[in-house]
Structure 1
Amino acid sequence: MKVKILASLICASAFLAGCDQISSIGGKEEPKQEQTAVPPSSGENLIRSEETPQVSQKAAVAMPETTPIQTQEYGDGDMVHLTKARVVGQILTVEFLFVPKRKPDGSYRYVSYETKLDNVSYIDDAAAQKVSLLQDEAGVYMASPLASNKTEIRINDDDPIKMTLKFPAPPPSTPSISIDLPQIGSFDAIPVSR
């Protein structure tokens, strides 16, 4: 009798172990969820799921949501990703993500970038025409992050940071533009999405 009970327990244990490793839903295999045992004396549940680490908003910015359109190196290993060139209405919005180089401890180095906004423009590749940044009614450039004088972009941070520029939209017949960012380089033949 003891042998039958022992054999039944071994079979049940093997079955449950197999169920823990793979849960089958609709024929697809899903990975086993990590679990840790807690001693019964602690008063907690015997098994609990591992918590998923939370990503800070600043760390989330480091990884563009989509694949960068183009990338340039800036300074000593810092990267500038062109992440967006999109027309909405009559405005072309261009976004860049500055990602500082990491230190050996995993934190980001300090990144600094400044340029006068009257030096920033794009070239309409179809018409070979230079187009300057938009300005509001008060003459303030439509860009961020603006310096306190409102005539420059000023980036000083030890985390990835986004730079946004707004221009008059190119005509629908223009499939691409080129932007030369002072001190960084040229981003050529950038496809414009609408």
Structure 2
Amino acid sequence: MIRPTLFGAACVLLLAGCGGRDEPAEPVDPVAEAAAARAAPSTLAAQTTSPPVQGPVAGAIQTAAGPDGAQVDLTRVRVTGNVLTVELSYRPVGNATQWVYLDADEVSVIDDTTSQRYGVLRDDANQWMAAPLQSASRDRLSVQLRGGRPGVVWFKFPAPPASSPTVSINIPNVSPFDGVVVQR
């Protein structure tokens, strides 16, 4: 049995249109075409057998090189009220367990318009507004990357003025994230 394909249906319509007749072509059922296209074997899929390349996390704003070959995805830069929240996702290389340590006082955001540098905020109890904080040292953050799964870390900063559309984010041992648009 010959099955129609999307390509075949398009060729038939094209050839029918070239026949010199003044009669309109029959309407095509898009649902039937889509079903026929799914049923037909794809020669392109059979030709592409190389493994997928691990790229940035879906929704990543920017990606940078991190410590020990890890990749760091900037996933959120958003102002709520007077606070700027920055969220990062660390992706390890392979399935080995890795630990990433960050000193909160070394993390900063720079307002690209005024060159003003902002450090991580502290709460009323003088604790960093960041997570995950290491329990032994409340000044250090630790992220465990285990089994190829990413680890997430976030920070809170004073918000730059609304007249500053972009910031640059500096994280120890990570290439800088420059010219990042601030969501408001």
What TM-score, normalized by structure 2, do the two folds share?
0.68
2:65·2:174 contact (CA, 8 Å) conserved in 1?
yes
RMSD across aligned C-alpha pairs, in angstroms? 2.5
Which protein has greater RCO, CA pairs closer than 8 Å, 6+ apart? 2
Percent same amino acid at aligned positions? 33
Distance 1:183 1:64 in 2: 20
Distance 1:153 1:173 in 2: 31
1:96 is aligned to 2:101 = no
Deviation of residue 115 (structure 1)? 1.8
Match of residue 143, structure 1, among 130, 133, 136: 130
Match of 2:141 in 1: 153
Give the direction of change, closer, same or farther, for the CA distance of 1:127–1:28 in structure 2 (3 Å limit): farther
Cα deviation per residue 1:127-163 (whole Å; 9 max; x = unaligned)?
1111111111101111111111221111123121111
Distance 1:76 1:121 in 2: 21
Distance 1:125 1:184 in 2: 19
Give the direction of change, closer, same or farther, for the CA distance of 1:69–1:163 in structure 2 (3 Å limit): same
Distance 1:27 1:133 in 2: 57
Unpaired runs of 5+ residues, structure 1, are: 1-13, 33-61, 103-107
Deviation of residue 92 (structure 1)? 0.9
Cα deviation per residue 1:45-87 (whole Å; 9 max; x = unaligned)?
xxxxxxxxxxxxxxxxx97341x22211123431011111111
Cα deviation per residue 1:80-121 (whole Å; 9 max; x = unaligned)?
11111111222111111100012xxxxx22222112111111
More strand by share: 1
Unpaired runs of 5+ residues, structure 2, are: 7-28, 40-54
Distance 1:27 1:128 in 2: 59
What TM-score, normalized by structure 1, do the two folds share?
0.65
Distance 2:57 2:71 in 1: 12
Q: Residue type of the partner of 1:74?
A: G
Deviation of residue 123 (structure 1)? 0.6
2:67·2:100 contact (CA, 8 Å) conserved in 1?
no
Match of residue 132, structure 1, among 119, 123, 137: 119
Match of residue 105, structure 2, among 118, 122, 127: 118
Aligned residues between the structures: 143
Distance 1:77 1:192 in 2: 27
Give the direction of change, closer, same or farther, for the CA distance of 1:136–1:28 in structure 2 (3 Å limit): farther
